[in-house]
């Protein structure tokens, strides 16, 4: 797959052969955030959004050249603010981002983030669990007994972003800026500096089964404050180029078979017991009565 990713990256540059260099070139900003983007090591190019971009979106945009630039997640928003032809796939929409970005129609619905914690430590969460085995994050942050680890510059959906902002500066929120923050924060958990880590169901599954060298038996808890699902978008710079690019991107994302293919890759990264719910959420979000299967 690594060879395929490299060849696809190079081939994308020929989609618009004969065009003025850079005139119709999209700079796609990507970042290492397994398993959304896997930009290094085993499985490079096989992440959920890697494949959505390479196999579904880019082939539908033959009028553009495509360049890939790997940046730290915390710099992503700056690049989309400062460059006219910058785009990224896999972002959440919020009011702050809409000041500098133009968003596409949604391209996939995902189960919202929750918290990850080693199973050996779950007893300390019992005072904060509510119906449905969900965690009341607001109460946990207010009590300031347990420390929550999160990735700096990452969005966890509007509800949780606002909650974290409200408690910003509290001693029980620890922000980590490492490229693979979830792994780093769980290492801090082993040292007793962080009690639980904000993350997504696919991250818990990835860390449980794929990252064998650092295996931790994790339990994932959804959050009381979250909606049933969150929508992911493509975003481009708020410029004339960005407006035109988003218009073309929307024509690709209007195709049901494209959305279905992306959803199947996403579901493949989830724990077995979460896949049926993810399928239901996908149909609900895009108002599908049933999945088209080839």
The span from the CA of 195 to the CA of 100, in Å, is 35
| Preceding amide of 114 cis, omega within 30 | no
Joined together, the tokens standing for residue 63 give 């009028």
Residue appearing with tokens 């032809």: 85
**pLDDT reported for residue 214:** 57
**pLDDT reported for residue 213:** 54
**pLDDT reported for residue 41:** 83
**pLDDT reported for residue 67:** 96
- 21: how many CB neighbours lie within 10 A of its CB? 9
DSSP string, 202-245: HHHHHHHHT-GGG---EEEEEBTTS-S-EEEEEEEESSHHHHHH
pLDDT string in tens for the chain (294-residue length): 333 333 333 333 333 333 344 579 999 999 988 889 998 888 899 999 999 999 999 999 999 999 999 998 888 999 999 999 999 999 999 888 999 999 999 999 999 999 999 999 999 999 999 988 999 999 999 999 999 999 988 889 989 999 999 998 889 999 998 877 888 898 899 899 999 999 988 888 887 765 445 567 888 999 999 999 999 999 999 999 999 999 999 999 999 999 999 999 999 999 888 899 999 999 999 986 554 444
**pLDDT reported for residue 290:** 52
**pLDDT reported for residue 215:** 63
**pLDDT reported for residue 74:** 81
**pLDDT reported for residue 23:** 72
**pLDDT reported for residue 17:** 34
């Amino acid at each position: 797959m690594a060879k395929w990713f490299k060849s696809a990256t190079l081939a994308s540059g020929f989609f618009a052969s004969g065009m003025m260099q850079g005139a119709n070139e999209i700079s796609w900003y990507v970042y290492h955030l397994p398993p959304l983007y896997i930009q290094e090591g085993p499985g490079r190019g096989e992440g959920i959004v890697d494949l959505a971009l390479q196999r579904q979106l880019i082939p539908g945009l033959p009028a553009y050249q495509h360049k890939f630039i790997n940046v730290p997640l915390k710099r992503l928003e700056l690049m989309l603010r400062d460059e006219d032809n910058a785009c990224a796939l896999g972002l959440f929409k919020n009011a702050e981002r809409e000041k500098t970005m133009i968003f596409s129609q949604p391209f996939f619905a995902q189960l919202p983030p929750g918290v990850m914690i080693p199973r050996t430590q779950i007893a300390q969460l019992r005072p904060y669990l509510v119906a449905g085995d969900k965690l009341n994050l607001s109460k946990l942050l207010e009590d300031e007994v347990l420390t929550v680890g999160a990735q700096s510059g990452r969005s966890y959906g509007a509800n949780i972003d606002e909650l974290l902002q409200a408690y910003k500066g509290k001693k029980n929120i620890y922000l980590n800026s490492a490229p693979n923050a979830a792994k780093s924060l769980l290492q801090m958990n082993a040292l007793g500096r962080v009690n639980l880590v904000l993350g997504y169901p696919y991250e818990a599954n990835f860390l449980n089964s794929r990252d064998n060298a650092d295996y931790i038996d994790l339990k994932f808890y959804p959050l009381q404050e979250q909606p049933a699902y969150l929508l992911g978008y493509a975003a481009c710079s708020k410029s004339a180029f960005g407006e035109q690019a988003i218009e073309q991107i929307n024509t690709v994302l209007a195709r049901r078979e494209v959305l279905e293919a992306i959803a199947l890759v996403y579901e493949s990264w989830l724990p077995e017991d979460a896949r049926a719910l993810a399928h239901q959420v996908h149909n609900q979000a895009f108002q599908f009565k049933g999945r088209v299967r080839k």
